[in-house]
């Protein structure tokens, strides 16, 4: 797996559910807007209820799912593009995550490749909640 990244390869990153406590705790640390940290205020907000901070689901899935699979081959992060917050993530709702190898620029002499990964997060109804492109420099054999 470390040595070959093939465009189109898709990896299921499983199902994630954020609790109210998860949402409030992450947001207090990193994104303390009242619709992420205060249920009462959130009910009067644009979202009509508590919602996760935008980066929360990616941050968690990347940490718990992607890094165990691919972390050992990472040389450096290069960029993030087209991160879109299409739909809010409410507490207790199932989010299905997947990542696909979108593009690979290999440099066999230097034994590395710039890999663009396309992350997708969908809700139980199959609607796209978020997506993003992440480009990482990986070691290759």
- Report the interface residues with a second copy, using CB under 8 A: 29-33, 45-47, 54-55, 59, 62-63, 67, 71, 74-85, 88, 132, 137
Distance in Å, CB of 76 to a second copy, minimum: 6
Q: Give the residue with the Cβ less far from a second copy, 8 or 102.
A: 102
| Angle CA 40–48–34, to nearest 5 | 45
How many whole angstroms separate alpha carbon 94 and alpha carbon 89?
9
Q: Give the residue with the Cβ less far from a second copy, 2 or 78.
A: 78
Distance in Å, CB of 56 to a second copy, minimum: 11
Q: What region, left, alpha or beta, does residue 68 occupy, with left being phi > 0 and alpha being psi -120 to 50 degrees?
A: alpha
The answer to whether 86 and 138 have CB atoms below 8 angstroms apart is no
Q: Give the residue with the Cβ less far from a second copy, 20 or 34.
A: 34
Distance in Å, CB of 119 to a second copy, minimum: 12
Q: Give the residue with the Cβ less far from a second copy, 84 or 105.
A: 84
How many whole angstroms separate alpha carbon 60 and alpha carbon 97?
11
């Amino acid at each position: 797996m470390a040595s070959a990244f093939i465009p189109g390869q898709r990896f299921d990153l499983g199902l994630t559910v954020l609790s109210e406590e998860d949402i409030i705790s992450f947001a207090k640390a990193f994104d303390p807007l009242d619709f992420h940290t205060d249920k009462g205020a959130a009910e009067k907000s644009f979202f009509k209820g508590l919602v996760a901070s935008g980066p929360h689901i990616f941050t968690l899935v990347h940490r718990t799912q992607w890094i165990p699979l691919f972390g050992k081959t990472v040389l450096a992060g290069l960029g993030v593009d087209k991160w879109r917050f299409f739909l809010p993530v409410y507490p207790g709702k199932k989010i299905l995550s997947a990542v696909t190898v979108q593009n690979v620029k290999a440099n066999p002499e230097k034994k590395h490749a710039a890999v663009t990964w396309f992350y997708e997060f969908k809700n139980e109804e199959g609607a796209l909640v978020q997506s993003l492109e992440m480009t990482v420099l990986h070691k290759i054999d």
